[in-house]
Amino acid sequence: MEQFILSFENLSPLYKLGWVVSCLLFVWILELIIPLAQHKYNKIKHDGINLVFFSFSLIINVLVGIATVGVFYWISTSQIGLIQMVDWPFWVELLIAIMALDFIAQYVVHYMLHRVKWMWKMHMVHHSDTKVDATTGTRHHPGDYLLRECFAIATVIIFGIPVSFYVFYRICTIFFTYITHANISLPGWLDKILSYVFITPNIHKFHHHFERPWTDTNFGNIFSIWDRTFGTFVYDDPRKIKFGLDVTDPEQDESISYQLGLPLNKNIKTDY
């Protein structure tokens, strides 16, 4: 196991991109076979728009990746961070790294994106999709995605997370991002069992309901423990869900200019 995890340190950008494409293709096939909702839309156009937002995130990811080379070198040479200061078994260090990243760089920042007004107006781009499917997971305002990356880097520094652990976690998040947003219907008993540990497609669908309070629930990415612990967990019948936001124009959900302008759009009302 140790050698397998350490091998992620040298994972090439091409392999990472291949993993993204593979996960997306896998989930697309599931959406065709076991769809949850029968969206009446042009899927090629819809997914194409969301992949435009993905291209913005990809550029940010590359730039941040270049910047973090120095961060990981600093961690390895200076031995800073919790993991570096204590000699724990390998699997314990890996578990701490994964849990820390999932909590701070996913749950905490996601919670803040819903509670801080200027953050929420950027995050609206993600929630304004009225036909949620796998590609919705890639639909982020550039500012939203950059904030997530900053929280991830901060977590890496605080805990002294090695690059191999970080890359392994990111590979896992890619799969969970696509599968939890996917327009798929899992057997109720299976989804329920998995939900005790993981964020499942049904769990995350409630987060994309068009109005509160469901919009402000189920912030987790991989593990459901955070939502269960902090009282933000809900579970109900996914057929009750209506996607989108009640404060944005649903007719503009595929307009890139409208979506990018949401943070500065004074006509958009928000309680935060």
Question: pLDDT at position 87, please?
Answer: 87
The label of the residue with tokens 């967990």 reads 233
Q: How confident is the model at residue 38 (pLDDT cuts 50, 70, 90)?
A: confident
Q: Which pTM does this prediction carry?
A: 0.92
Average pLDDT, the chain: 92
- pLDDT single digits (tens) 148-170: 999 999 999 999 999 999 999 99
Question: pLDDT at position 182, please?
Answer: 95
Q: How confident is the model at residue 66 (pLDDT cuts 50, 70, 90)?
A: confident
CB–CB of 134/24 below 8 Å? Answer: yes
Question: pLDDT at position 67, please?
Answer: 86
- In the predicted model, what is the mean pLDDT of residues 253-258? 94
Question: What is the DSSP code string of 96-135?
Answer: HHHHHHHIIIIIIHHHHHHHSHHHHHHHHHHHT-SS--GG
Q: How confident is the model at residue 176 (pLDDT cuts 50, 70, 90)?
A: very high
The label of the residue with tokens 């600093």 reads 74
Q: How confident is the model at residue 272 (pLDDT cuts 50, 70, 90)?
A: low
- pLDDT single digits (tens) 227-248: 999 999 999 888 888 999 988 9
Give percent of the chain with pLDDT exceeding 70. 99
- In the predicted model, what is the mean pLDDT of residues 122-138? 95
Question: pLDDT at position 271, please?
Answer: 67
- Reading the block at residue 215, the tokens are 């919009």
Question: pLDDT at position 9, please?
Answer: 86
The helix (run of H) or strand (run of E) holding residue 92 is helix 90-102
- pLDDT single digits (tens) 14-29: 898 899 999 999 999 9
- pLDDT single digits (tens) 181-192: 999 999 989 999
C-alpha 245/C-alpha 19 separation (Å) is 31
The label of the residue with tokens 């839309």 reads 41
pLDDT at 270 over 80: no
pLDDT at 78 over 90: no
CB–CB of 211/239 below 8 Å? Answer: no
